[in-house]
Amino acid sequence: MLQHYLSAGDLSRSEAEALLDRAARLKAEFRTNGGGAHAGLPLQGKTLALVFEKPSLRTRVAFEAGMTQLGGHGSYLSANDIDMGGRESVPDVARNLSRWVQAIAARVFKHATVETLARYASVPVINALSDREHPCQALADVLTLREHFGALQGLRLAYVGDGNNVCHSLLLLGATLGLDLAVACPPDYRPDPEILERAEGLARASGARIAISAAPAEAVSGADAVYTDVWTSMGQEHETARRRPSFAPYQVNPALMARAAPRAVFMHCLPAHRGEEVTAEVIDGPQSVVFEQAENRLHVQKALILSLLGV
């Protein structure tokens, strides 16, 4: 298993599948025991530090609740608490935390920060979102798809909107697992070419197909899942007004959903802006699986911590 989880492309196909299987077992156990602690409290005495430079609901609570359910503890440190890179350098934060805790989850502005943490930490580091990737989200997303459709190989996912961190991680993990991905983005907001090249290499190995275009209707045509995310990610708020006209034609609304397969699901990592990237009818309608995705954050993040800690 991996030493750190910084990128959704870090997992081999068999590692990703084993993680999903483990998450599914943890979910079943959690449901059987009525949502309490897991048998044997495998992380008793262990602490996960949560170093977060940006706000979070799902990622933070899923890690904290997950640690509690496994018998351990999550220690949340906001930017106000430690001011990483200001009050103290990133390497020093990593070296200090490694003396006290057994793992670090970090939500950062610059992807380089999570890489520096991993370089200097002697404990596993998990990327809890960076400007480049959101690999924990992608794990929950593929678990949701697997639960809904059974198999992932050959499933068609259309991602419509910003070629951002969420899109990058979906491309990498989806390509690893054999998902066909059609991405439709405004021309100035396409996925990073380096990520795309990596995803294309992974797709060649798994048999997945990747298509990038600027045409949402084409991408969504016949898709089994339609995924979108906010037009302006955390840290880009100053670009909101400039982005709005570029993204307006990329809204997921009933007319766009009607082009997908009749069995298609709607996906979003949340938080969502109803009336912008998605209309209320779609996100609150019968095809939406957004809260299943959110629920699965808990189970995949527990599976990830256990695996990184070799438990």
Least Å distance, CB 236 to ligand NVA, is: 8
**Distance of closest approach, residue 243 Cβ to ligand NVA, in angstroms:** 12
Choices 162-170, 184-192, 217-225, 293-301; region in contact with ligand NVA by CB under 6 A: 162-170
3-state secondary structure 123-174: CCEEECCCCCCCHHHHHHHHHHHHHHHCCCCCCEEEEECCCCHHHHHHHHHH
For every residue of 258-307, DSSP letters joined together read: TTS-TT-EEEE-S---BTTTB-HHHHTSTTB-HHHHHHHHHHHHHHHHHH
DSSP 222: T
Measure Cα distances from 280 to 251, 266, 271, 288 in Å.
Answer: 11, 12, 13, 10
Q: Which of 132, 180, 229, 299 is catalytic?
A: 229
Q: Rule CB under 6 A: is residue 102 a binding residue for ligand CP? A: no
CB nearer ligand CP, residue 147 or residue 295: 295
Residue 225 forms beta bridges with which residues?
157, 265
288-301 per-residue burial string, b: 16 or more CB within 10 A, e: under 16: bbbebbbbbbbbbb
Provide the 3-class DSSP secondary structure of residue 252.
strand
In 11-30, which positions are buried (b, 16+ CB within 10 angstroms) versus exposed (e)? Answer: beeeebbebbebbbebbeeb
Is 107 a catalytic site residue? yes
Part of the chain binding ligand NVA (CB under 6 A), chosen from 116-124, 160-168, 204-212, 238-246: 160-168
- Residue 10 falls in the annotated catalytic set: no
Q: Is 164 in the site for ligand NVA (CB under 6 A)?
A: yes
- Interactions with ligand NVA, residue window 221-250 (CB under 6 A): 229-230, 233-234
Is 87 one of the annotated active-site residues of the chain? no
Report the partner that residue 57 touches, choosing among ligand CP, ligand NVA, none (CB closer than 5 to 8 A by kind). Answer: ligand CP
Is there binding between residue 69 and ligand CP (CB under 6 A)? no
Asked if 57 interacts with ligand CP (CB under 6 A), we say yes
Q: Identify which of residues 264 and 269 has a Cβ nearer to ligand CP in the complex.
A: 269
Q: Is 134 a catalytic residue?
A: yes
What interhelical angle do 90-100 and 111-120 show, nearest 10? Answer: 50
Q: Which of 60, 146, 297, 299 is catalytic?
A: 297
269 binds ligand NVA (CB under 6 A): yes
Is 269 known to be catalytic?
yes
Buried b (16+ CB within 10 A) or exposed e, 245-280: ebbeebbbeeebbebbeeebbbbbbbebeeebbbbe
Does 56 bind ligand CP (CB under 6 A)? Our answer is: yes
Residue 269 binds to ligand CP (criterion: CB under 6 A): yes
Q: According to CB under 6 A, which residues from 93 to 132 bind ligand NVA?
A: 129
* Amino acid (1-letter code) at residue 78: S
CB nearer to ligand CP: give 58 or 302: 58
| Cβ contact 165:130 at 8 Å | yes
- Which tokens sit at 251? 């809204």
Select from ligand NVA, ligand CP, none the partner in contact with residue 2, using the beta carbon and a kind-dependent cut-off of 5 to 8 Å.
Answer: none
Which 199-238 positions form the footprint of ligand CP (CB under 6 A)?
none
Question: Closest-CB residue for ligand NVA?
Answer: 233
Told to check if 111 binds ligand CP by CB under 6 A, we report no
Kindly state the DSSP code that residue 207 receives in the 8-state scheme: T
- Which active-site residues does the annotation give? 107, 134, 137, 229, 269, 297
Residues contributing to the site for ligand CP (CB under 6 A): 56-59, 129, 137, 269-270
Residues contributing to the site for ligand NVA (CB under 6 A): 129, 134, 164-166, 229-230, 233-234, 269
